[in-house]
Copies of this chain bind each other. A is one copy, B any other.
């Protein structure tokens, strides 16, 4: 859930060079969004501030809602690879915990932007809604892994529900991170997954017991 690296990978030396990067535009947008609010910032404001044409901005990002996200695809690929390369002798929940924590690791220079990013994504209704589409591909990665691991079809109830649960855990950890501001994100995520791993099989039992006793 971070912005990812610059786009400068290895251009096949042909045609005019790009005049900017996803990261640069995203940073400008994040700053303006935090200053004026998401709805009060127009695409023209951002384009002007970034020193590019409005039309160009829409070539980098398909919509205003995508601006805070930066470049999401590569991160997802990395997580998929990491999960599929995970040794089988690790318990599933632990695999998921490790992969999720790793997925959320952000280069230090991105930290201030990452906080703004998540602040916006979780609290601006429009962005909250749009995020669903990103989360859907993320959940897919989790569901795939769980399905493979438990030898079930991906569409089965267990992998699907597990993916939703993982997403919920992550978002709860993010909320906490934004709230108290002191604890490092990765610690919170790690802790949350351990807690769920430990309690997920007892919380329902507790409820039963509480009801029966």
- Asked if A208 and B91 sit within 8 Å, CB to CB, the answer is yes
Asked if A31 lies at the interface with its beta carbon under 8 angstroms from chain B, I say no
- Asked if B211 and A90 sit within 8 Å, CB to CB, the answer is yes
| A57 CB → nearest B CB, Å | 21
Copies of this polypeptide in the complex: 2
B-side contacts of A132, CB under 8 Å: 128-129, 131-132
- 25 residue pairs of the A-B complex, CB under 8 angstroms, read A90-B211, A91-B204, A92-B210, A128-B132, A128-B133, A129-B129, A129-B131, A129-B133, A131-B132, A149-B207, A150-B203, A150-B207, A155-B175, A157-B192, A157-B195, A158-B203, A161-B169, A162-B203, A163-B168, A164-B165, A164-B169, A200-B204, A201-B201, A201-B204, A201-B205
What residues make up the interface of A, taking CB atoms closer than 8 Å to B? 88-93, 125, 128-133, 136, 149-150, 155, 157-158, 160-165, 167-169, 171-173, 175-176, 192, 195-197, 199-208, 210-212
